[in-house]
Amino acid sequence: MSMSNHVAVIGGDKRQFYMCKLLSEDNIMVDSFGVDMKEAVLDVTIAESIEQIMELCDVIIGPIPFSRDGIHFFSNVNPNIALNEFNRFIRSNHIIIGGNMNDKIIDRVKEQNGRYFDFMKEDSIAVKNAIATAEGTIAEAIKLSDINLYESKCLILGYGRCAKALAARLKSLGANVTIAARNREQRLLARNESLEAINLKDIHIKLPEFDFIFNSIPAMILTAQWLQLCKQEAVIVDIASKPGGTDFEECKRLGLKATLSLGLPGKYSPRTSAEILIQSIRHLLPH
């Protein structure tokens, strides 16, 4: 267990702000760096450097994802926090926490005999994160479209955890949902949920029918060739990890409404997400 009563929160989005707030409400001293602290929070100090924060704190909470480019911390307010600099200051007393943690970080922690905790390796967190992502995805679609989701035709590419949560919520809103997946078992699972399911390679046959297209597959799926088959009014929401699976330049050329929507829990439900994350690491925090 950490000997320091200080906890560091580095980078991220609004979830990290609420984590700072919730920790301070638990009488934990918090040092933040690269967190949007526009609202002053009691017992939260803004550190001047990574070195300072790493010397003062044993528990270090990073963002979700830890990095989007493999070089810098993900941070809405400071995109220049270097992972290599952070790595240099990792010691055996540190507990490094974050989501989708970089392999270099994990290797360094192990080398220093420290400890780490990856939020996204915890099933309970991943399930709740998928729910928040699904709700945010629907919000993004509603913002972009001129029609109701009710009785609309929706295509979801992939049928992983986030896609399943999204499909269930679209169906409950009265949308007609089709799943496109390569995996036969995923298609069977979708049909068991009373969803239509087709092989991914066959979607070109039905693409002109859909009002909404949601991509969850982290590979280039919606190519120029397939985008040209979409109806002009179609809305595309891509929730796959950066750079997504949509040719966005072709979308612009065709005048299609399309968005790459990342970090949706941090955008639409940051406080709830922060509460879930804090609860999952209670055992690692100073008392």
Q: CA-based angle 118:246:105, to the nearest 5? A: 20
Q: Which residues of 55-94 are buried (b: 16+ CB within 10 A; e: fewer)?
A: eebbbbbbbbbbbbeeebbbbbeeeebebeebbebbeebb
pLDDT surpassing 70 at residue 3: no
Global pTM?
0.88
pLDDT of residue 1: 43
Is the CB of residue 46 less than 8 Å from the CB of residue 32? Answer: yes
Q: What is the pLDDT of residues 52-73, one digit of tens each?
A: 999 999 999 999 999 999 999 9
Q: Coil, strand or helix: which one is 82?
A: strand
Structural domains of the chain, ranges and CATH numbers in brackets: 6-121 (3.40.50.720), 127-267 (3.40.50.720)
